[in-house]
Amino acid sequence: MKSFKQELRKQKIHLALIINSTLQDPNFYYLTNVTPENAFMLISSKFSTKIYCSPLESAQLKSKSKIKAFYNLDKKTFEKMIALIRKYRIKKIGMNLSTITVNEFNGIKKRIQKQVKGIKFVDISNLLRKTRAIKTKQEIKLYKKATKITEIIWEKTLKYIKSKRSITEIQVKEFMEKEMNNLNLTSSFPTIVASGKNSSIPHYVPQKKKLSKGFCVIDFGINYKGYCTDITRTIYLGKPSQKEIDLYKLIFDTKNYAASLIKPNQFSATISKKTRKFLGEYDKYFTHGLGHGIGLEIHELPNLKVTAKEKFQPNMIFTIEPGIYIKNKLGIRLEDDYLLTNKSIIQLTKAPKNLAVINR
């Protein structure tokens, strides 16, 4: 909240209007620690933050939130907001245009502009994204725990696959999600289990189909107290050739190489370009970005790709996930979660150096 307000001041935005309505804005939770279903929040450097939501929700939410000014969302709310806008001479309102429908935005804008002549609206989606990209101490602590749990789930999954003579992709996915549920957690996105030729499809949807011989790519993450983890492990069923072992090693080394380059103030695009060079002739089989920030959403800033504009900054948490995909043949991807401090890069999860081989 503090750094968000600072940014608002810098950009001379007198009021931010954060709304949970048809679409939920993750920034509502980020700024308040609660997620009312239907609510809006007024944030300004000129007065203390106010939340308007249903009285059915407010009593319970108030005890969980740092914000104590909860008001009923009713017919009078709009008039109250107009009164505040007038009282504090607000000229510019910031709204997150990434999490509001076009109709809702146009409706609000029209209603306010009718009452307050000349008032301007600006999009603050990027400002919010930039604020969220820099994690707080509390968020970092939470991520250390979340990534540990993610690795424990992976270890259990590997044991489970080893223990079964024959098993389907869906069964692996279901096992993982059951393990998450046992811990009162959910997956941060649909778990990917792609075996054999299917491993060459980066966003493959697991099928009721027995794990075939060859590489098997498993990409998953958990949602821990609102925060997403995201890791990928590649294992091998059967007996890998030396060439296949070498390809796994190439991806492992590529991930380490990328991590070794990342330092505060480095351009993200430069890291991606250098890493692609490292892959040499296999660059053409690396068909997606190098990684992405993680947080309340599974894809946040920074973007790790050749077209990214941003620089790395201390306290960013992101994934590095090189992969190669050879159509109808094989796919290999390794993905770990990293924290950049002002001194060094800390690997929060650790993909194994040696390819895990399951005899079949």
The site for Mn ion (CB under 5 A) is made up of 230, 319
Instruction: For the chain, give percent helix, strand, coil, nearest 5.
Output: 40, 25, 35
Q: Minimum distance from CB of 292 to Mn ion (Å)?
A: 6
Q: Which residue is nearest to Mn ion (CB)?
A: 230
Q: How far is the CB of 5 from Mn ion (least distance, A)?
A: 31
Measured from the CB of residue 316, what is the shortest distance to Mn ion in angstroms? 15
Nearest distance from residue 120's CB to Mn ion, in Å?
37
Decide whether 36 or 323 has the Cβ nearer to Mn ion: 323
Question: Regarding beta strands 50-53 and 70-72, do their DSSP bridges make them parallel or antiparallel, or are they unpaired?
Answer: parallel
User: Judged by CB, which is closer to Mn ion: 70, or 143?
Assistant: 143
Nearer to Mn ion (CB atom), residue 94 or residue 302: 302
Q: Name the nearest CA neighbour of 3 among 132, 142, 124, 137.
A: 132
User: Cβ closer to Mn ion: 177 or 230?
Assistant: 230
Burial 285-296 (b: 16+ CB within 10 A, else e): bbeebbbbbbbb
Nearer to Mn ion, 4 or 286 (CB): 286
In a 3-state reduction of DSSP, which class is residue 281?
A: helix
Nearer to Mn ion, 157 or 319 (CB): 319
Contact, 37 vs 58, CB < 8 A?
no
For the bound state, the minimum distance from the C-beta of residue 334 to Mn ion, rounded and expressed in Å, comes to 11
Going through the chain in order, the beta strands assigned E by DSSP cover 15-20, 39-43, 50-53, 70-72, 92-95, 120-123, 186-187, 192-195, 214-220, 222-224, 227-228, 231-237, 291-293, 300-304, 316-320, 323-326, 330-333, 336-340, 345-347, 356-358
Question: In angstroms, what is the minimal distance from the CB of 150 to Mn ion?
Answer: 12
